[in-house]
Structure 1
């Protein structure tokens, strides 16, 4: 009897060993992970998985979130670590990462040298106020990472909406950053590893901005795409089909019918357009030199085409109480001094949309914005991307612009027009504006189509959204969206980059920006009121359970053996 039991136990033990062995063998051929979180925060998108499985060489990520960090930034560090672990698992070990304390040296000189080095590589420091036992102290952190692949490197800013940090919404800023980690890492790895770059064209021939004023966005886009200048007069329509997206940035000269025909057929045949237009001629330089100027209509000859597609850019200027500041000289002679005053013709565009282009986007700084109306078209889906604040008004052309008005306090009672649309996305199958029309000299290198493939069109009613400032003294190129007077960076660059990605990239990677992670915070009021109760429960209840269990077991044993 004993031998039989012993033999049966050995067989069970060997069966368990064999089962574990077989499971491990199966696991080496089949890879799977289970995410139990409600919002699937640890589940990578298919586009991210495709990028990781396509890596040919190792990727190294140096994350500069180490050392003494505030509680919120420890949460950001933990989420970054968890995401990198997921990346490593799906890349089959080709992702390597290090967490580095950039201020770990005891030498102040070395710390400053490290900050300067990382700043030159694209990682800007953030100055925070931390509460300690000794009061509030300042803490410099560098919430970013450097990604290396095949001898190339790119920076990642892990902190989104950084201008909010330090205010009352730091928790929201950190949460937005955590939501965006997968997109930031995946898009950067794609930029470094992608060998087949899509072609993007920037039109010339209509007084568009020169290379200097498009330098910053050009450098950024060149990391992901191949950029070329396109002369619509010279290029053949069949050659335009090589481009995924055409960008028309701040033109001031009219388009000919032949050029419009090429743009129309490019869109109808599946190409995408990104239009950044000014309907009124208004420049700050002329206002500064004369003290005042007149904003008058431009004739770009695009109105009929845009109307057919589903939008109209109006010949007006939108004035907004929520606006950027400009430097103004106040006083005379020795009493003159420069002050920054709000300029209602420089609206700050915002968005409440959950669309991936604009979700969690900082305000976009603009100059002399027109309003956009959308027109019903059953074949076209419309998404409002950017609007002014509710405290706006419109002035129809011509508009007198005077610096003297800067000193006048805006009367909110006069700014009641509500949010005005300034950027819109149109998607669908566009109908040609040249249907039933004959164009002399039209390019027929591809057959004319009245309606064909689905495509996308983004219209922004301010050409300055895409242009960076250039120093008049030393020709220094400022980052796109950077305000040299306030040292604040607005969302212009992110908006333009996201727009180009949405128009051009078919992988769907940009949709990761809609990922939402809910903050599940404890109710501080409840904690304060019920603190003692829960302290007693957590302290006494476990001890009471153990005592009751011991007493019950003792009584059970006495009864059992007494019988």
Structure 2
């Protein structure tokens, strides 16, 4: 047998062995510096729960701007990572043009974009949505989260960073077999259901939601505590009536037994409706009998109202034209617009949040970890209560020297082992569930009861994210939904919102100005070099063989 035949056989056998090896042993390598295509342990553990076909339909298909072509590619590459982790995932990209009405009915609202191409601005409409279906259950995924950004490049960056959380969160919601239980506490003059609809309807999509009244504490406190302890989270939204010691003790022991809490507390009686009706109102401290309870957990809500030059606008009548009143939107400093903590998953990429007649929170020294979530600007001013507030003050020019305050804390996350407020006190009633200190637990305290209150439009709940008068967008709904997700998250899924990626974007203005240079460099120059090389080669050949 000749050496050539032997070499051919060896190569052939080698190729066959390599092919068998690659089929047996499969691996993917992420060589990006930010590990963009590496799934977290949380994601892989959730994907392992899928035991049947899971369909993901993406509606980013068709003719749209280059930036969102990039989002399409990033989405496709990420979904391929999901499919590589679990082969039961089926991915489809569909053009939404023929099914737009159907998608809108499902809650997938299209986005209208201003696109800059070749130095010209144009409008484009896209459906940045996806749909996840699994065993007759479904969920929709927004590929373009709402946030205040300076440019479409920053919007794209936020969208790509949110891909893993958005898809894995949707998959987890339809795959998990047991839903968390959320109690909306009533009985102390809390907000009516219609004012919490926009917020709670979103909570109900992921969790089991129920109203829970503390009125039964008066007749059977032990049973009330036992029933409340079956819930994973309690939402206390703007109570206006004083809590009894038995009710406080019930909430305290719910917390020390592991229950999570979201507090939205107004410590001052101040109502915008009464101010608009009469033009003047008395703002005064509201005694809810919660000060010692929150004090034991490490916070104190004060009774001084905060004015901030960064404020939301309210519509006011400025006169009449003919018989028609004329309205103008003017900034109302008692409604601060505050930014969230950019380094925490609850508030990262969340639009500024509107507060209404808010007071500041003081944090106290103890072992509880305290993370600020909502903080005012530096341009603040305190107004002590009781005090009269007049609507006509909106016309007064603010004096800069009066608004040189400091950052004011309006929302805080508390995490740690909470001490019972009744650890060294006489208990209002005896219960076998009593604990003097909790195991690791967490709660969120916001010093504005109206932060989750939606407006009514023609008697129906209006979207919490939008002001019905000014059409300004706020992050209140996103903040509260993220807060609930964080408090109920035992797996660490919410931390994926803190994922940071570096997207290299094209400088459009420079590309437009220098387009002739780059076109010559990339198109004409290679052709000239190729022509020159061929000409020289042909000349040398002719000279050598002539």
Q: Identify if the C-alpha distance between structure 1 residues 529 and 8 changes in structure 2 by more than 3 Å, giving closer, same or farther.
A: closer
**How far apart, in 2, do the equivalents of 1:16 and 1:201 lie?**
63
Residue 54 (structure 1) shift: 1.2
Matched, 1:186 2:168: yes
Aligned 8 A contact 1:130 1:138 in 2: yes
User: 2:38 maps to what in 1?
Assistant: 43
Question: SS of 2:173's equivalent?
Answer: helix
Query: Relative to 1, partners in 2 of residues 1:215 and 1:537: Cα closer, same or farther, differing over 3 Å?
Result: closer
Over 3 Å counting, the alpha-carbon distance change for 1:95 and 1:241 in structure 2 is: farther
Q: Between 415-424 and 239-248, report the one with greater CA deviation.
A: 239-248
Matches within 5 A, 1:486-525: 486-521=470-505
Q: Please list every run of 5 or more consecutive structure 1 residues that lacks an aligned counterpart in the other structure.
A: 106-113
- From 86, 109, 125, the counterpart of 2:110: 125
More deviation, 15-24/252-261: 15-24
For residues 350 and 313 of structure 2, the distance between their equivalents in structure 1, rounded to whole angstroms, comes to 20
2:210 to 228, 234, 243: 228
Deviation at 1:128, TM superposition (A): 2.1
| Candidates 133, 142, 158, aligned match of 1:176 | 158
User: 2:341, 2:360 → 1: CA distance?
Assistant: 17
Post-superposition offset of 1:342: 1.2
Distance 1:354 1:542, change over 3 A: farther
Question: Does 2:295 match 1:311?
Answer: no
Q: Which whole-Å CA distance do the structure 2 matches of 1:268 and 1:249 have between them? A: 20
Matched, 1:464 2:450: yes
- SS of the residue 1:312 aligns to: strand
- Against the structure 1 CA distance between its residues 412 and 73, is the aligned structure 2 distance closer, same or farther, given a 3 Å change threshold? farther
Does the 8 A contact of 1:144 with 1:158 survive in 2? yes
| Residue 353 of structure 2 corresponds to residue 371 of structure 1 | no
Distance 1:115 1:428, change over 3 A: same
In structure 2, the partner of 1:24 is 23
TM-score by length of 1: 0.87
Q: How much does 1:315 deviate?
A: 0.4
Cα distance change on mapping 1:122 and 1:3 into 2, 3 Å? same
1:8: Cα distance to partner? 5.0
- Give me the TM-score of the superposition, normalised by structure 2: 0.89
Q: Distance in 2 between matches of 1:242 and 1:34?
A: 45
User: Partners of 1:325 and 1:520 in 2: how far apart?
Assistant: 37
Q: Deviations over 1:392-424 (max 9, x none)?
A: 211111132222122233333321113211000
Corresponding position of 1:444: 431
Q: Which residue of 2 aligns with 1:108?
A: none
Q: Give the whole-Å Cα distance in 2 for the aligned partners of 1:283 and 1:541.
A: 72
- Name the SS of the counterpart of 1:314 in structure 2: strand
Q: Deviations over 1:297-351 (max 9, x none)?
A: 1111111121221111110111111111111112258363122111111111212
1:255 and 2:250 are equivalent in the alignment: no
2:128 aligned residue (143, 147, 169):
143
Partner of 1:110: none
Q: Which of these residues, 284, 289, 297, is aligned with residue 301 of structure 1?
A: 289
Q: 1:406 to 1:57 in 2, by over 3 A?
A: farther
Inter-partner Cα distance in structure 1 for 2:380 and 2:69: 41
Query: SS of 2:337's equivalent?
Result: strand
Residues 406-415 or 532-541, more deviating: 532-541
> In structure 2, the residue corresponding to 1:439 is in which secondary structure?
coil
Q: Distance in 2 between matches of 1:529 and 1:67?
A: 29
Match of 1:415 in 2: 403
* 2:343 alignment partner, one of 344, 351, 354: 354
SS of 2:313 mapped into structure 1: strand
- Do 2:60 and 2:93's aligned partners in 1 also have CA atoms closer than 8 Å? no
Contact residue 96 and residue 127 of structure 2 kept, 8 A:
no
1:358 shift after superposition:
0.5
1:279-290 alignment, distance < 5 Å: 279-290=267-278
Do the aligned partners of residues 22 and 126 (structure 1) sit closer, same or farther apart at CA in structure 2, a change above 3 Å counting?
closer
CA contact (8 A) 1:237 1:445 kept: no
Q: What is the rounded CA distance, in whole Å, between the counterparts of 1:155 and 1:349 in structure 2?
A: 29
Quote the Cα distance in structure 1 between the aligned partners of 2:209 and 2:515: 62
Q: Which runs of 5 or more residues in structure 2 are unaligned?
A: none
Q: Tell me the matched-pair count.
A: 535
- The answer to whether the aligner puts 1:480 opposite 2:464 as a matched pair is yes
Displacement of 1:181 in angstroms is: 1.2
Instruction: Measure the CA separation in 2 of the matches of 1:536 and 1:145.
Output: 40
**1:246-271 per-position Cα deviation (integer Å, ceiling 9, x unaligned):** 11111111111122222222222322
Larger CA deviation: 512-521 vs 62-71: 62-71
State the distance in 2 between where 1:320 and 1:120 align.
Answer: 40
Flag the 1:36–1:256 CA change in 2: closer, same or farther, 3 A: same
- SS of 2:370's equivalent in the other structure is strand
1:275 aligns with 2:270: no
In structure 2, do the counterparts of structure 1 residues 133 and 4 end up closer, same or farther at CA, with 3 Å as the change threshold?
A: closer
Distance in 1 between the 2:346 and 2:242 partners? 29
What CA distance in whole angstroms lies between the structure 2 residues aligned with 1:468 and 1:424?
22
| Residue matched to 1:337 | 326
Of 67, 73, 77, which aligns to 1:78? 73
Written as runs of structure 1 = structure 2, the 5 A alignment for 1:375-394 is 375-377=364-366, 379-394=367-382
CA RMSD of aligned residues (A): 3.1
Residues 339-387 of structure 1: CA deviation (Å, up to 9, x unaligned):
211111111121243110001110112211111111111x211110011
